[in-house]
Structure 1
Amino acid sequence: MKTLAKSKRRQRHESPFEQGPRRFASHLPWVSILVASSLAILPFMSMRGWWPDFGLLMLLGWRMQRSDAFPNWYAIPLGLANDLLTGHPIGLSVVTYNFALLMIDIIDARRMWNYWWSEWLVAALLVTFAELLQWFVAYVQDAAIPIKALIPPVIIMIFFVPIALAIASALDRYRLRQRRGAKP
C-alpha cells in the first residue's frame, strides 16, 4: 500500500518535460508545415507579390533542426498541399520541396560541422532557387513578371529563416517534452 502511494506521489511531482514524447509527436512536423503553408490563404493584398512561402521555410527549418523528423517522401504530399493552398502550378512545390530536401541531405553528408551561418546560407540559396524556379515557370507561361519582383520575397524569406529555425526548434522541444538546456 505504501509503495502505491509513493508511486502516485512521484507521478504527481514529476515534471511533464521528462516524460518522453507526446502523443502524436510524429505528426507535429508535417502539421506545422501545412499550417505555415496555409498562411497564404490569409486575406492580405499585395500588388508586388511580397508574400513569402512560409511552408518552404518551415520545411527547411524542420529539416535543418532535426533531419529525422519526417522521411523525404513527405515532400510530395506537403508540396502538393502547398501548391493547392498557394495557387502555384501543380507540381512546382513538389519539385522545389524534393530538391530542397535532397540538397540539404547532400550538404549535411559533406559538411563536417554545422554552423548557424552555414545553415542560413544554405537556406538562402534554396529559397533563392525556389523563387527563381517560380519566376521561370511564370515566364514560360507568358506571365509578365519582372525579375526584380523576386527581390522582396527573397529578402523577406532570408530574414525569416532564423525565425523558422527557432519555431521548428521550439516545436521539437515541445513534442519531445524537453526543457531548454536539459540533458537527454
Structure 2
Amino acid sequence: MVTALPIITDYPILPPMGLLVLLAWRLIRPGYWPVWAGFPLGLVDDIFSGQPFGSAAFLWSVMFVVLETLDRKANTRDYWQDWLIASLAIVFVLISSMMIIDFPANLLRLDILFPQILLSVLLYPFIARLIGSIDDWRISA
C-alpha cells in the first residue's frame, strides 16, 4: 500500500513494495509459497496499485512459474544469484506492466521507468534482509 501514499510525481518512482517483499520471501524460502500464490497476491496488488485488473496477477503468476522452474534446476543459490534473479524479475514485471497499460504509447518511453527500476533493484537487499530477519523470528517463535 506504499503506492497509495500521496506522493505526486510525473514519473513512477516508488518501488513496488509488494513485489519486492514477495520476491524476497520466495527466494529465501522457496517451498513456502505454492506456485499458484502469485495469482491472488497479484490481484490484491492490482486493487491497490491501480493497474488494470488482472495484470499483476498474470505477471506475478508468470514470475512464480519461472522461479519454480529455476528452483527445480538449481540445487543451491547464493546471495548474488538471488539478487540477479530478483533484479530480472523486477525489470520484467515493471516493463511488462507499463506495456500492458498502453503498448504503442509506452514502447518508446521506457526511459521513464529507469529511476523506479534502479530504486527497486537497489532496495531489494534491504528488503531481503528484513524478510530474512522476520522469517528467522517466525521460525524461532
TM-score, structure 2 as length reference: 0.91
Q: Which residue of 2 aligns with 1:96?
A: 59
Q: Which residue of 2 aligns with 1:147?
A: 110
Picking from 139, 156, 162, the partner of 2:125 is 162
Q: Structure 2: 5+ residue runs without aligned partners?
A: none
Q: Matches of residues 4-15 of structure 1 in structure 2 within 5 Å?
A: none
Once residues 98 and 122 of structure 1 are traced to their aligned partners in structure 2, the CA distance between those partners, rounded to angstroms, is 15
Q: Which residue of 1 aligns with 2:32?
A: 69
Residue 144 (structure 1) shift: 8.6
- Following TM superposition, the consecutive aligned residue runs of length 4 or more in structure 1 with deviations greater than 6 angstroms are none
Once residues 108 and 21 of structure 2 are traced to their aligned partners in structure 1, the CA distance between those partners, rounded to angstroms, is 26
Q: Secondary structure at the match of 1:85?
A: helix
Name the amino acid aligned to 1:41: A
Q: Which residue of 2 aligns with 1:41?
A: 4
Once residues 135 and 44 of structure 1 are traced to their aligned partners in structure 2, the CA distance between those partners, rounded to angstroms, is 19
Closer, same or farther in 2 for the Cα pair 1:141/1:83, shift >3 Å? Answer: farther
Q: Structure 1: 5+ residue runs without aligned partners?
A: 1-37, 179-184
Once residues 138 and 45 of structure 2 are traced to their aligned partners in structure 1, the CA distance between those partners, rounded to angstroms, is 23
Once residues 136 and 144 of structure 1 are traced to their aligned partners in structure 2, the CA distance between those partners, rounded to angstroms, is 7
Matched, 1:105 2:68: yes
Q: Matches of residues 47-62 of structure 1 in structure 2 within 5 Å?
A: 47-62=10-25
TM-score, structure 1 as length reference: 0.71
Residue 142 (structure 1) shift: 4.8
Closer, same or farther in 2 for the Cα pair 1:120/1:61, shift >3 Å? Answer: same
Once residues 138 and 173 of structure 1 are traced to their aligned partners in structure 2, the CA distance between those partners, rounded to angstroms, is 38
CA contact (8 A) 1:138 1:145 kept: no
Whichever of the two has the greater Rg, that structure is 1
Residue 72 (structure 1) shift: 2.0
Once residues 100 and 144 of structure 1 are traced to their aligned partners in structure 2, the CA distance between those partners, rounded to angstroms, is 22
> What percent of counterpart residues are identical?
23
Once residues 42 and 59 of structure 2 are traced to their aligned partners in structure 1, the CA distance between those partners, rounded to angstroms, is 8
Once residues 60 and 125 of structure 1 are traced to their aligned partners in structure 2, the CA distance between those partners, rounded to angstroms, is 11
Residue 53 (structure 1) shift: 0.8
Residue 69 (structure 1) shift: 2.2
Name the amino acid aligned to 1:51: L
- Aligned-CA RMSD value: 1.8
Larger displacement relative to structure 2 (123-132 or 107-116): 107-116
Residue 170 (structure 1) shift: 1.2
